[in-house]
Amino acid sequence: MNGWFLAAGLTSAGVAAVHARAGGRDVVRPLLTGTLPDEPRRVLHAVWHMVTADLILAAAALIGLALSHQPGGDMVASLLAVHFVAYAAVFLVISLAADWSKPWLRLPQWLLLLPVGALAAAGAM
């Protein structure tokens, strides 16, 4: 068993739970009741659920890789690591580009995403 992949998968599952619970309350509800036109609002709602599915599927893949020694598993884990680091980078760049006090904490999602990438990368080495 690869403990790094297991830790990455469980962390991703936790991130998915936080995303669904806290994000649903703090992001999706205000989005759906906001003043955006209907079409962009529905697209953003769909994208929200796509990210939820992405986090859950990544967690399942990492946990599956942890429990089995599949050929190419390190490649899959490396791609997932880059995937999560890229997600973290997007949140950091968008946060730092805003004119906010302590911008890295206003959108703290990167703090949840980066550890998944780091753990998956460590397991793939």
Q: 75-125, pLDDT tens digit by residue? A: 999 999 999 999 999 999 999 998 888 888 888 889 999 999 999 999 998
In the prediction, which pLDDT does 91 show? Answer: 93
Residue 34's region, left for phi above 0, alpha for psi from -120 to 50, else beta, is beta
Read off the pLDDT band of 21 (50, 70, 90): confident
In the prediction, which pLDDT does 115 show? Answer: 97
**Residue 82, Cβ neighbours under 10 Å: how many?**
13
In the prediction, which pLDDT does 95 show? Answer: 92
In the prediction, which pLDDT does 34 show? Answer: 84
**Alpha-carbon dihedral of residues 35, 41, 47, 53, nearest 10 degrees?**
90
In the prediction, which pLDDT does 16 show? Answer: 95
| 5: nearest Cα among 58, 83, 49, 46 | 58
In the prediction, which pLDDT does 36 show? Answer: 87
Can you tell me the distance from the alpha carbon of 16 to that of 11, in angstroms, rounded to the nearest whole number? 9
Helices 3-18 and 109-124: crossing angle in degrees, nearest 10, is 160
Q: Residue 70 above 90 pLDDT?
A: no
**Residue 108, Cβ neighbours under 10 Å: how many?**
11
Can you tell me the distance from the alpha carbon of 97 to that of 46, in angstroms, rounded to the nearest whole number? 25
Residue 103, judged by CB atoms within 10 A of its CB (0-12, 13-18, 19+), counts as middle
